[in-house]
Copies of this chain bind each other. A is one copy, B any other.
Amino acid sequence: MTTFPSSHLDLLESQVATLATIDRDGLPQLTEVWFLHDEGEVRLSLNTSRAKTKNLIERPACSLLLLDLTNPYRYLEVRGRADVQPDPDYAFARKVGAKYDDDLSSRDRPGEGRVVVTIQPVKVHAVDMTG
């Protein structure tokens, strides 16, 4: 279980976060993603067909930035490596769906699946430039 700073715990409940992976050319790739603060960790449910998912399987280095949309000078960065596990019965996808009141399986096409991505932090960086 990862300890996150108490000053930024509210951001773990926010709706979207910015995920950085590293693409096949070695460039950072940024996308907005849904996430869940689950069992003390920051986790994502990703469709297996997405470039970001393939990036994480081939290169686990990643970072997730949780931004305070009402004050973008305040944010939490969770930098580390992704542990990617199958989610064949969509058990974890349903947990994420409960947060968003959404059926994630309805977003997947035939042949696609889901993985559970757990970010294993190397560095947790809490920023508040507004002091």
Chain A residues with CB under 8 Å of chain B are: 15-16, 18, 20-23, 25-32, 61-65, 67, 69, 72-73, 75, 77, 79-81, 122-123, 127, 129
Closest to A70 in B: B69
In Å, the complex CA distance between A26 and B122 comes to: 12
In Å, the complex CA distance between A63 and B31 comes to: 11
Binding site secondary structure of chain A: strand
* Known contacts A25-B122, A122-B25; A63 and B16 CB within 8 A of each other: no
Closest to A15 in B: B72
The answer on a CB contact under 8 Å between B28 and A63 is yes
The answer on a CB contact under 8 Å between A29 and B61 is no
Q: Which residues of B contact A30 (CB under 8 A)?
A: 18, 20, 63-65, 77, 79
The answer on a CB contact under 8 Å between B28 and A22 is yes
In Å, the complex CA distance between A52 and B15 comes to: 27
